[in-house]
Amino acid sequence: MAAGLLAGTDALAAGQGLTLFQASPAPGGQTYTIPADSLPYVLLLPFLPALLLSLSAFTRVAVVFFLLRQGLGNQYAPPNLVLIGLAMLLTYFVMHPIVQKIQAEALDPYSQGQLAAEAAREKAGDALKGFMFRQTRAADLAVFMTEDAKVDLKKPEAVPFHALAPAFVTSELKTAFQIGFMVILPFLIIDLVVASVLAGMGMIMVPPQMVSLPLKLLLFVMADGWHLLVGSLVASF
């Protein structure tokens, strides 16, 4: 592969493209190339799932779920696969209207030949930017905007994507931590009460988590915690 990349530098300099590989089952085999301008996008392909999830509701939901598990004091239940799966399902539910809008305004017209590729990309980008803009704080957005740029709150499509994307993720993390604090606070009170009672009884050798974990699970179940938490997360968007 390294030899192929080195051999393709002349082609890059000539603007012909970079040869990925050559299939020669017979004389005159087909050579597959990509334009040199597309090389950065090819390099970004391994990170594409993480980037797409970061630009959706997944960040907020996943962080809150993991903070909930931390507050419960159980590092193994629910397992990571369950939390990630539930976070992705909730993300799909929250983003479904946006996906439908992109499908109706960009993908369908493009597939039917009614819209050019560039126009379809702009339509899809505007729909996603509208969702991201509604969840982004103005203070976070101002950090990534140039000093002479003015943000028009009525025109999210005018905000450059390179500034909106990190501002959106920053706002999502802040919101997730705020929700996580409200989730963890009752569990923290239980931990403090249990630790004080055990210390007052002279049972300092008993791990407080052994007593507080069943109490926290009981409180969470009695309060119908999953229903409240999932409903609050969905409503927060």
Cβ neighbours around 134 below 10 Å, total: 10
User: Hey, what are 189's tokens?
Assistant: 């009170």
Per-residue pLDDT at 11: 44
Which residue bears the tokens 């379809």? 120
- Rounded CA separation 79/5 (Å): 42
Residue 35: give the domain boundaries. 2-42
Stronger pLDDT, 86 or 110, i.e. the higher one? 86
- Whether the per-residue pLDDT at 21 is higher than 50: the answer is no
Confirm whether 48 is domain-assigned: no
Instruction: Give yes or no: residues 26 and 82 share one domain.
Output: no
pTM summary value? 0.74
Confirm whether 178 is domain-assigned: yes
Confirm whether 47 is domain-assigned: no
The CA-CA-CA angle for residues 148, 152, 154, to 5°, reads 175
- Whether the per-residue pLDDT at 188 is higher than 50: the answer is yes
Task: Tell me the average pLDDT across 8-32.
Answer: 49
- Rounded CA separation 95/86 (Å): 14
Per-residue pLDDT at 175: 92
Q: Using one digit for the tens of pLDDT, what is the confidence trace for 27-46? A: 555 555 666 666 666 777 77
Q: Using one digit for the tens of pLDDT, what is the confidence trace for 197-235? A: 878 777 777 777 777 888 888 888 888 888 988 888 888
Grade residue 5 by pLDDT with cuts at 50, 70 and 90: very low
Confirm whether 51 is domain-assigned: no
Residue closest to 226 by CA, chosen among 80, 64, 70, 95: 64
Instruction: Give yes or no: residues 135 and 193 share one domain.
Output: yes
| Amino acid letter, residue 164 | L
Task: Tell me the average pLDDT across 57-76.
Answer: 88
Q: Where are the alpha helices (DSSP H) in the chain?
A: 2-7, 9-13, 39-44, 48-54, 58-72, 80-102, 108-111, 117-134, 138-144, 161-200, 208-222, 225-235
Instruction: Give yes or no: residues 34 and 142 share one domain.
Output: no
Per-residue pLDDT at 34: 60
